[in-house]
Structure 1
Amino acid sequence: MASDYSSTLDDLNPKVLKCAYAIRGEIVTHAQILQQDLTENPGSHPFNEILYCNIGNPHSLGQKPITFFREVLALCDHPLLLDRSETKALFSADSIERAIQILDQIPCRATGAYSHSQGIKGLRDKIASGIEARDGFPADPNDIFLTDGASPAVHMMMQLLIGSENDGILCPIPQYPLYSASITLHGGTHISYYLDEETGWALEISELENQLKTARSRGVNVKALVVINPGNPTGRVLAEANQREIVEFCRKEGLVLLADEVYQENVYAPDKQFYSFKKISRSMGFGEKDISLVSFHSASKGYYGECGKRGGYMEFTGFSPEIREQIYKLASVNLCSNISGQILASLIMSPPKVGDESYESFSAEKDAILSSLARRAKILEDAFNSLEGVTCYKAEGALYSFPRINLPDKAIKAAEEAKTAPDAFYAWRLLNATGIVVVSGSGFGQRAGTWHFRCTILPQEEKIPAIVSRFTQFHKQFMDEFRG
């Protein structure tokens, strides 16, 4: 049939048509339709609510914001509150003091104004101090670019590095689909390296070497290596020795190391600890001229979960002044990141300290969130491992479980007939039966012939038993239906 519109898909950029982002894909759209059905016709489905376990969006699933952060943001957005007598009774002394300090850094004390394209200098100073305190090595505020969450920073780096489809970026499989989508949008080549599921999603240097050699033999100009630590969707936290191998690999091969470190606060395994790649490289004796490193961080994850505020930054080290000018130019095209997000990025790197009025309440809120996430991760891990044909490795960090499902042949055949991937078929059936939204492993990449799904650990702790019960009942019925 002829279209009623003057423009058609043929008029669009083919790179846009080619890219995919499963986390907010068709299954989520269907979930939103079901949610509308439940609102308009209660009882119309065999569940009473939709549980969005597809995306790391903590506040949407009931996590409360950190009080100190929100107090500072409120005072910065409405500085007239600072002149009111009742403010001292409503806000902690250190949140008032911090807001005054921040406002003094902002032209006209107005959060509604544009800032410097790289971000407000005083806020970058705070972030640099936080990085230095974390790593034990100097950090330069001029290396920091404040962005609307980590995603725009990733896009900026892909714009900077990719000039044609001959330019390649090494990315993990499974991976957060922002990377494959951004590589596609910017016209580059996605070079997959596979994490080893049999050893709990380990990153093997031999795999990197093989994929790099193969890509170069095809004439691909490999520019960079993406590493996500802690892992999304795998939950793996890299060991320090492994990180040293990765740094040495990038240095030897002349690759830019793109370090996605947005889950650095989310480490649950008692035998694991987060180390930034900046700390690792400097502790190995490598300086600015030895390795080009970009570290991404975000206010959306951690214990803060402030996804909607869109705060983040990248630390851009080991590049010449000429290259720095080009990344600044890209930042300038976007004018600046939002000011509330900039403030929040500075706060997560400089939270209350011992002696501050809000320190005890802040620490209690932070510890309660992280300890609850650790318990939820363990409950879901055990529940998935109890299901027939399901294997789930320990979530050492981040916000997800990534179980593997051994689906019956009959289910795989039914998926083929429905013209969908088997794990997507499973996810659709799960949603329609239980209201639980997960993302199929095919949206993240996986070895051929294996099937997975990603499930967040974010539903509030009191809801986890009901989720486990629904999931268990559905899985048993699914396997009974398609067995044999």
Structure 2
Amino acid sequence: MVPYQLMEDQGWALDLDELHRALTVARGHCNPRAIYISNPGNPTGHVQDRKSIEEVIQFAAAERLLLLVDEVYQESVHGQGREFISYKKVLFEMGKEYSETVEMVSFHSVSSASFGECGLRAGYMEVVNMDPEVMHYVETLLCTNICTPVTGQLALDLMANPPKPGDSSYDTYTQELVLIRTTLSQNARRAQEFLNDLPGMSCQSAMGGIYLYPRLHLPSEIIEQAKKSEVEADVLYCQRLLEGEGVVVGAGCQYGEKTGKHHLRLCTLVPPDTLDEVLARLGSFHLHLMSGTTSP
């Protein structure tokens, strides 16, 4: 794996120069064959605009990279003035120079959408411009690894072919979908404001997805304790939060962050009262930690 860094100060936007840097450095010891993009970003919540998507497609074409596009949070875009645009749509509108040559695989999943979250496991991928000889092996591999349960298949069919106006379930379906998206949007804004009010924490706004990805600015004492315990400081933070308050959040170190930067992944797709309790516990723990009153 060759990690590349996103621009936190610009809402976790993707930087084309950073892609070139990562690729150039990597070619000193390996030969990268594919580029992975998460849009909307997981866990950053960034949603790419058309210009950014075009730049990535042109980059993949110029460098002869297979483009792997994770679009599983496309149903959960809630940033003001921002909409989800699929890579395939942009690719096919860029002309034959790209639409007939760039190899791309896009992914979607009911497990990460507003329809099923993580309770149902099913998804699909769409393959574009793949070499026929390679496709033979892809199809063979898939035939040996199909294990989605029937309930997951039903949910996936609903996601791909939702009820239409006039169908008996259309009103119920629409109301529930609007409720989920409204709750997600309101939760994300409220949680971001709360986190930014805490000392030693900063959080970029999320345009989509179901997570916030706040940055921790921890005191040197915590950093040193983490080193002595031989864990990353954000891992130590998460462990203590779980032990002290029973709250589970993800540590940012698993996403290839630069050394010295620490983040948390906080899920916001929960009932509002649950989020309120989580934020209250997180806030209490964090304030005590920053003041040095928590136990090692």
After TM superposition, the score normalised by the length of structure 2 is 0.95
* Residue of 276, 282, 292 corresponding to 1:471: 282
Instruction: Name the counterpart of 2:209.
Output: 398
Q: Does 1:300 align with 2:108?
A: no
CA shift, 1:442, in A, is: 1.0
CA deviation string 1:176-224 (max 9, x = no partner): xxxxxxxxxxxxxx00111111211110011101111111233x12110
CA shift, 1:344, in A, is: 2.3
Which secondary structure does the structure 1 equivalent of 2:2 belong to?
strand
CA shift, 1:465, in A, is: 2.0
* 8 A contact 2:68–2:104 mirrored in 1: yes
Instruction: Name the counterpart of 1:283.
Output: 93
- Counterpart code for 1:388: P
- Counterpart code for 1:259: V
CA shift, 1:301, in A, is: 1.8
- Counterpart code for 2:65: L
* Residue of 77, 81, 89 corresponding to 1:271: 81
CA shift, 1:471, in A, is: 1.5
- Counterpart code for 2:57: V
Listed as ranges, the gaps of 5+ residues in structure 1 are 1-189
CA deviation string 1:329-360 (max 9, x = no partner): 11122256444333322210110111212111
- Counterpart code for 2:67: L
Instruction: Name the counterpart of 1:242.
Output: 52
Counterpart Cα distance in 2 of 1:474 and 1:234: 23
Q: Which has the higher contact order (CA 8 A, sep 6+)?
A: 1
Distance of aligned partners of 1:355 and 1:196 in 2 relative to their CA distance in 1, 3 Å threshold: same
- Counterpart code for 2:31: N
CA shift, 1:440, in A, is: 1.1
Q: Does 1:222 align with 2:32?
A: yes
* 8 A contact 2:72–2:108 mirrored in 1: yes
Q: Does 1:340 align with 2:158?
A: no
Counterpart Cα distance in 2 of 1:403 and 1:306: 22
CA shift, 1:244, in A, is: 0.7
Counterpart Cα distance in 2 of 1:306 and 1:481: 37
Counterpart Cα distance in 2 of 1:435 and 1:386: 22
CA deviation string 1:103-154 (max 9, x = no partner): xxxxxxxxxxxxxxxxxxxxxxxxxxxxxxxxxxxxxxxxxxxxxxxxxxxx
Which secondary structure does the structure 2 equivalent of 1:265 belong to?
helix
- Counterpart code for 2:190: I
Counterpart Cα distance in 1 of 2:121 and 2:50: 30
In the alignment of these two chains, the number of paired residues is 293
Counterpart Cα distance in 1 of 2:267 and 2:240: 18
After TM superposition, the score normalised by the length of structure 1 is 0.59
Counterpart Cα distance in 2 of 1:325 and 1:196: 39
Distance of aligned partners of 1:264 and 1:411 in 2 relative to their CA distance in 1, 3 Å threshold: same
Which secondary structure does the structure 1 equivalent of 2:274 belong to?
helix
Q: Does 1:191 align with 2:2?
A: yes
Counterpart Cα distance in 2 of 1:341 and 1:315: 18
CA deviation string 1:394-446 (max 9, x = no partner): 01110101110110001111122222211111111111121110111112221
- Counterpart code for 1:453: L
CA RMSD of aligned residues (A): 1.6
- Counterpart code for 2:9: E
* Residue of 351, 360, 370 corresponding to 2:181: 370
Which secondary structure does the structure 2 equivalent of 1:452 belong to?
strand
Instruction: Name the counterpart of 1:417.
Output: 228
* 8 A contact 2:93–2:99 mirrored in 1: no
Distance of aligned partners of 1:431 and 1:306 in 2 relative to their CA distance in 1, 3 Å threshold: closer
Counterpart Cα distance in 2 of 1:482 and 1:243: 47
Counterpart Cα distance in 2 of 1:326 and 1:299: 25
- Counterpart code for 1:407: L
- Counterpart code for 2:49: A
Counterpart Cα distance in 2 of 1:396 and 1:482: 35
* 8 A contact 2:115–2:155 mirrored in 1: no
CA shift, 1:321, in A, is: 1.9
Which secondary structure does the structure 1 equivalent of 2:56 belong to?
helix
Which secondary structure does the structure 1 equivalent of 2:204 belong to?
coil
